[in-house]
Amino acid sequence: MHHALIKKLESFESLSDDDRSALDALVPKVRQVGARVDLIREGEVPENVHLVLDGFACRYKVLADGQRQIMAYFLPGDFCDLNVFILDQMDHSIGTISACQIVDIPRAAIDEITASHPRVTRAFWWCALVDEAILREWLVNLGAREANQRIAHIMCEILMRLDAVGRVRDNSYQFPFTQTDIADTMGLSNVHVNRTLRELRELGLVTLKHRVLTILDVDRLKAYCGFNANYLHLKNTRWVERRRATWLGRTEGA
């Protein structure tokens, strides 16, 4: 059984045995990191790429008034900073949510594997583009949806992303986030998150007990928040639920 990164890449791109063993060689030393530990902080100079093999981490910023904004979740198979690490200094921090298995990959190792494995290179590119697409969708989430749909939406997203790395069983998955984590992700207060979660429970959409989230009716939850998986650009489900945007009246030629 291969590690989560390989599973994830294969949801974008078909890999050869050679690709897979090269990716296996990329993660020689797995490091155990506890929950609520920073991997890198704002202002520091990035050196390695961080890869999450197991557990949950996040990207976040802290404002002058102490307010925290979470900007991304990192799930098993996710690179935390595949591109970011080229920057001179970090403009944000990365920290674990739960205990994690982390691999620190030197830039040289990335250069090496991409030089000789074009499919892997393509898949890495794809990862970076999907990460950006997710970020855009999060912006839509904050800008255009209300609390209950916002939270339902992130639950759908995590379901899809975890499913791509085989971490979902019977529409249930590990959900290590505290209500304050969710609040800092969604731009809400933890009190309101609590009430919103209760509402989702009362509507029969989900259950959340002992850090395990179960989605009782996936289709209903997706419909509830208007979830459209196209932005995840997964191979199997790509553009099943296509939708067209025609807000600005004219097209170019018209």
Binding characters for a copy of itself, 9-48, by CB under 8 A (x = yes): ------------------------xx-xxxx-xxx-----
Amino acid at the residue 139: L
Q: Give the tokens for residue 1.
A: 């059984």
Burial class (CB in 10 A: 0-12, 13-18, 19+), 49: buried
Residue 148 binds what, of a copy of itself, DNA, none (CB under 5 to 8 Å, by partner type)? DNA
Judged by CB under 8 A, the stretch of 16-24, 105-113, 210-218, 238-246 that binds a copy of itself is: 238-246
Question: Should residue 135 be labelled a site residue for a copy of itself when binding is judged by CB under 8 A?
Answer: yes
Edge-to-edge strands of the sheet including 172-174? Answer: 172-174, 212-215, 206-209
Residue 101 binds what, of DNA, a copy of itself, none (CB under 5 to 8 Å, by partner type)? none
- The residue (of 61 and 169) whose beta carbon lies closer to a copy of itself is 61
Q: β-pairing, 93-96 with 57-62?
A: antiparallel
**Torsion-angle region of residue 68: left (phi > 0), alpha (psi -120 to 50) or beta?**
beta
182: Cα separation from own chain's centroid: 14
Given a contact cutoff of 8 angstroms between Cβ atoms, the answer to whether 4 and 53 are in contact is yes
Residue 132 binds what, of DNA, a copy of itself, none (CB under 5 to 8 Å, by partner type)? a copy of itself
Q: Give the tokens for residue 252.
A: 């170019």
Binding site for a copy of itself (CB under 8 A): 33-34, 36-39, 41-43, 59-65, 67-69, 71, 83-84, 86-89, 91-93, 95-96, 125-126, 128-129, 132-133, 135-136, 138-140, 142-145, 184-187, 226, 230-231, 233, 238-239, 242-252
